[in-house]
Amino acid sequence: MTLAHEEFAEQVAPLRPGLLLHCYRMLASSHDAEDAVQETLVRAWRGIDRFEARSALRTWLYTIATHVCLREIERRGRRLRPIDLSPAAADPAVALGVPLTETVWLGPLPAAGLTWASTPADAVYEQKEAVELAFIAALQHLPPLQRGALVMRDVLAMSAAEVAVALDTTTAAVNSALQRARAAMQERMPERSQQRVLRDLGDERVRQSVAAFVAAWERADVGAVVALLADDVVLAMPPYLEWYEGRDAVGRFLGQAPLAPGKRWSCSPTTANGQPAVAKHRWDEQVGAWLAHSLSVLSLDDSGGILRIDAFLDPSACVASTPGGAR
């Protein structure tokens, strides 16, 4: 490694966490975001001779990262949640169908290794608000130009002129796209972000809700889990298409599937997407060990009830969110 490369690596290192969050917001996949950051830094290094400090290094890197993400969006399309594809399952007693492994699912953002920068003064959204599942899911419904414009203007607080350069368009086009994007987001976003709900509940109340959920799940106590749920709770489990709505439906599904007699669970409270989450391991009798199973991201209501469970059945997300790795 040359000295120049060492200097480059030293300068970009503090910007890498922000680039990762930016790419995740654009792509809704932590794996794709990591790849996009790597490609961004490779492209930046290869083009370092063309960087003449006419703009800040940060702006230049975000411009490259945005181009990388837009190309990936064009190739892969938007990422989905089960609720985007079908109505709630009518009968929780019916067995789950075959996992849709070819579907491009929206993925979680495990907290491991994340660092949060302060929110820019002119930003519309706080840094953690802008990675909440509801926010990321809403972004996925925006066309690429609108998505890029909203993230760069309302999250990163970049100027319209800077965004126009990053998106290869005009300032007028950016302002028009931003106006449409804001209207679309307002239609899809909840009235209050999870960050506001969590602040109002307070850390201790949130901790109690999560601890009660963990204890009830490890006991396989369906009734205790159901008692923690909001009346209109939603449970989704990508890569399965089926999702369930309402305490009764969710409770019946839990009793006949994940919390059925004979299944043993070990759970660890954690965070993901700036929200409370639970990393789950299931005991495997044949192997004689706890195996990583899933990461459940919880959305809470104003009273601390569990309003939504997004259970990502991805062992790698579980491991990434568990202190010390796999159990």
Residue extents of the structural domains in the chain = 194-321
Whether residue 206 contacts residue 300, with contact meaning beta carbons closer than 8 Å, is answered with: yes
High-pLDDT (> 70) share of the chain, %:
95
Sole residue written with tokens 């945005």: 66
Q: Half-sphere exposure of residue 201, counting CA atoms within 13 Å on the CB side?
A: 25
pLDDT, tens only, 134-165: 999 999 999 999 999 999 999 999 999 999 99
| Predicted pLDDT of residue 257 | 95
What is the phi/psi pair of residue 265, to 5°?
-130, 145
Whether residue 307 contacts residue 232, with contact meaning beta carbons closer than 8 Å, is answered with: yes
Q: What is the mean pLDDT of the chain?
A: 92
Dihedral, CA of residue 135, residue 310, residue 93 and residue 285, to nearest 10 = 160
pLDDT, tens only, 184-243: 999 999 999 999 999 999 999 999 999 999 999 999 999 999 999 999 999 999 999 999
| Predicted pLDDT of residue 1 | 39
Both structure tokens of 220: 């396989």
DSSP code string of 93-132:
TSPP----TTS-B----B-TT---PPPPTT-SS-TTGGGS
Calpha distance 146→177 (Å, rounded): 5
| Predicted pLDDT of residue 99 | 94
Task: Provide the 10 A C-beta neighbour count for residue 204.
Answer: 8
Sole residue written with tokens 């001779």: 49
For residue 326, pLDDT over 50 is answered with no
Q: Which amino acid is at 296?
A: S
Give kind and range of the element (H or E) at residue 276: strand 275-284
Both structure tokens of 74: 């064009």
Both structure tokens of 37: 């950051």
Burial class of residue 324 in the structure, from the number of CB atoms within 10 Å of its CB (0-12 exposed, 13-18 middle, 19+ buried): exposed
Average pLDDT value for residue range 266-283: 96
For residue 72, pLDDT over 90 is answered with yes
* CATH topology classification for 194-321: Nuclear Transport Factor 2; Chain: A, (3.10.450)
Calpha distance 182→186 (Å, rounded): 6
For residue 121, pLDDT over 90 is answered with no
Average pLDDT value for residue range 90-107: 92
- Answering whether pTM is above 0.75, one says yes
